[in-house]
Every structure is written in C-alpha cells, then in structure tokens.
Amino acid sequence: MRGVVAFLALSALLGSCSAPPAPTTTTAPTTPKAPTRPVPVAGIPPRYDLATGVAVVVTPQGERRFKVELAVKDNERQRGLMYRDSLGEDEGMLFLFEEMGPLSFWMKNTWIPLDMLFIDDDLTVVGIVENAEPMTTTPRNPGGHSRFVLEVKGGLSQQLGMVAGQKVRFEGVPESLWQKKPTGEQVKTP
C-alpha cells in the first residue's frame, strides 16, 4: 500500500509540472528593454508648480541662458529635480537661499546626472560639482560659502566652459529673492 501511495504522490507531482512550450517557427522582432529607473514604493509625488525665471551664465563662449524653476521654500528645495526623466540643455533649477552659507546637495531620488553651480551673493560662481552621480545621498559641495545653486544637465559646465569666477545674472526672478542684503537683514520669501 505504501508503494501505491508513493507512486500516486509522485505521479501527481510530475503531472503538475509542465514542459516548456515548443518553439514556434516564427520569431517576433525583439526590442531592447529601456533601462528601468528606481520608483519609490509609494509612487512618484506630483511636481510642484514652481515660478520660473532665467539664469544667465557668462561663459568664454558667450552668455548661456537657462530657463529655470525657482526653488525658494524648504519643501521646494528638498524636492529639487527628483524623479525627473530628463532635463533640456537650456533648462535647470535655481535654488535660492536667504543668506550665504556652506551649502551641500545630494542626489536622492534624482535619476539624471546634474552639474551644480554654487553662486555667492555677488552672483559669482564660487565652485562647480560636475556630473553628480544619480541616486546617492553623498553630500556634494565645492567648499566655501554660497547663497544660490544652479542645477543644469550633467556635463554642460565642461562643455560650455563654465568655471568658478564667472558671473551670473537672473532675469524674471524677483529681486527680493536674490539682491544682496545689508548684514543682519533677512530676505523675505513669498
């Protein structure tokens, strides 16, 4: 009896296994899969509806204009360019802070490499972090103090010859957000 039970159990087990399907004679063309990007478990939060302006960097090749989203409030600055698939060569984000300080940025949930131009009160580039590696929490800064950070597509600063010491100007950005204030005076955010 034990042998019959063992035989029935083995037959049931083998019967539940299926053979791989027979190969077909026609093959469909294969399309290479697009690289998958990490997606947060809870989904991608919607973008903020940010004010925009223009940041102009004076380079050896002439002025380079970037249409920028303005990150002014803490939640806007924390979100930055997270969850973006791409960034055009004439696009970016301008982070505006109330005063000079040792600013540091990371690339958490940022899917594309970025160049970060750190800018002081006098609208002079004080340092650049090039091609910041996506999806990391490593703090990045050029050392020293800055008040603004312009993020652009990774690799553009080298391609355009952008370096420390170059001047920047803002167009369409409320002056109250970037004009140099006398010592001790606070900048009011909208």
* CATH at residue 165: 2.60.120.1140
Q: Count up the domains in the chain and report the number.
A: 1
Residue 5 belongs to a domain: no
pLDDT tens readout for residues 77-126: 999 999 999 999 999 999 999 999 999 999 999 999 999 999 999 999 99
Residue 31 belongs to a domain: no
pLDDT tens readout for residues 26-54: 444 444 444 445 544 457 888 889 999 99
Residue 97 belongs to a domain: yes
Residues pairing with 168 in the sheet: 57
Is 13 a residue whose pLDDT tops 70? no
Q: Which residues contact 37 (CB under 8 A, 6 or more apart)?
A: 85, 111
Residue 1 belongs to a domain: no
Angle, vertex CA 94, rays to CA 88 and CA 99, nearest 5: 165
pLDDT over 70 for what percent of the chain? 74
Residue 61 belongs to a domain: yes
Quick one: which of 189, 159, 9 has its CA closest to 98? Answer: 189
Residue 57 belongs to a domain: yes
Residue 37 belongs to a domain: no
Residue 187 belongs to a domain: no
Cβ contact 127:163 at 8 Å: no
Residue 185 pLDDT class (50, 70, 90 cuts): low
Q: What pLDDT was estimated at residue 158? A: 95
Cβ contact 149:87 at 8 Å: no
Reported pTM: 0.74
Structural domain for 99, as ranges: 52-177
